[in-house]
């Protein structure tokens, strides 16, 4: 199992040793995910895991997002924050005015640029926690925040108010759970702590005008929930 932290030995007052974890930079951790195929290898050089390829997960998600996009008289602009290998995003581009796909791994973005060439499609390599986000009417964040520490999630959520709509998909435990347990950014999620992201709860306290669940898909680990937030 891969680890996304360095172990540091600290000497206590009684001269005994204590180990503490120093997180890796998120970019390094995510690059390792793809280099070592930690989400599986699939049939491609970059593979974003079952959540981006399993038909039972992808098909209903794509249909739910298309249904939302079709409610507009004219196509709207969309920013995909954490586009991964783009197996999902490629199904949505034709329903948008323009589609900006973002990921933190530069090699993945370069691969996507070569593989997916459409006139209204643009790829950018950005750290969504640290960098300025692209302008669009709607942002999509699909199973991304679940891999980030609370500090990074908070940095992302502070930027979401610039969008009119934000569609967030998260893998959550079934039934009641304590939201927003902190983790080290990387391959894993909060499911191992029987927790999951809830943006309206502390410490994020996202303020929205409307919240609507678009889709819920149960699986053996929990439930994958897609929620639409409206800000304006």
Instruction: Tell me the per-residue pLDDT of 61-97, one tens digit each, with 9 for 90 and over.
Output: 999 999 999 999 999 999 999 999 999 999 999 999 9
Query: Which region holds residue 86: left if phi is over 0, alpha if psi is between -120 and 50, else beta?
Result: left
pLDDT of residue 53: 85
Six token digits for residue 47: 């593979």
CB 50 within 8 A of CB 57: yes
- What's the rounded Cα separation, in Å, for the pair 48 and 199? 23
Of these ranges, 11-25, 37-51, 173-187, the one predicted with the greatest mean pLDDT is 173-187
Q: Between these two residues, 170 and 185, which has the higher pLDDT value?
A: 170
Query: Which region holds residue 182: left if phi is over 0, alpha if psi is between -120 and 50, else beta?
Result: beta
- What's the rounded Cα separation, in Å, for the pair 37 and 51? 14
Q: Please report where in the chains the tokens 């640029």 appear, as a residue.
A: 113
pLDDT tens digits, 200-226: 999 999 999 999 999 999 998 899 999
Q: Where are the domains of the chain?
A: 25-230
Class of domain 25-230: alpha beta
- What's the rounded Cα separation, in Å, for the pair 53 and 36? 18
pLDDT of residue 94: 98
Q: Please report where in the chains the tokens 């197996």 appear, as a residue.
A: 87
Taking the model in full, what pTM does it have? 0.86
């Amino acid at each position: 199992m891969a680890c996304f932290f360095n172990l540091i030995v600290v000497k206590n007052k009684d001269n005994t040793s204590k180990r503490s974890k120093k997180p890796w930079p998120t970019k390094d951790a995510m690059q390792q995910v793809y280099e070592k195929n930690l989400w599986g290898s699939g049939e491609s050089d970059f593979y974003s895991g079952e959540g981006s390829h399993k038909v039972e997960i992808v098909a209903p998600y794509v249909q739910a997002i298309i249904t939302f996009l079709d409610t507009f008289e004219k196509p709207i602009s969309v920013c995909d924050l954490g586009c991964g290998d783009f197996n999902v995003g490629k199904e949505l581009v034709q329903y948008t005015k323009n589609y900006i796909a973002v990921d933190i791994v530069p090699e993945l973005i370069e691969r996507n640029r070569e593989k997916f060439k459409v006139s209204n499609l643009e790829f950018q390599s950005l750290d969504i926690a640290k960098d300025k986000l692209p302008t669009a009417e709607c942002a999509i964040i699909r199973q991304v925040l679940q891999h980030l520490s609370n500090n990074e999630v908070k940095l992302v959520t502070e930027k979401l108010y610039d969008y009119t709509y934000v569609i967030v998909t998260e893998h959550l435990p079934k039934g009641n759970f304590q939201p927003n347990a902190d983790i080290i950014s990387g391959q894993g999620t909060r499911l191992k702590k029987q927790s999951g992201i809830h943006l309206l709860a502390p410490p994020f306290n996202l303020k929205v005008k409307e919240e609507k669940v678009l889709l819920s898909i149960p699986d053996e680990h929990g439930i994958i929930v897609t929620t639409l937030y409206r800000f304006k």
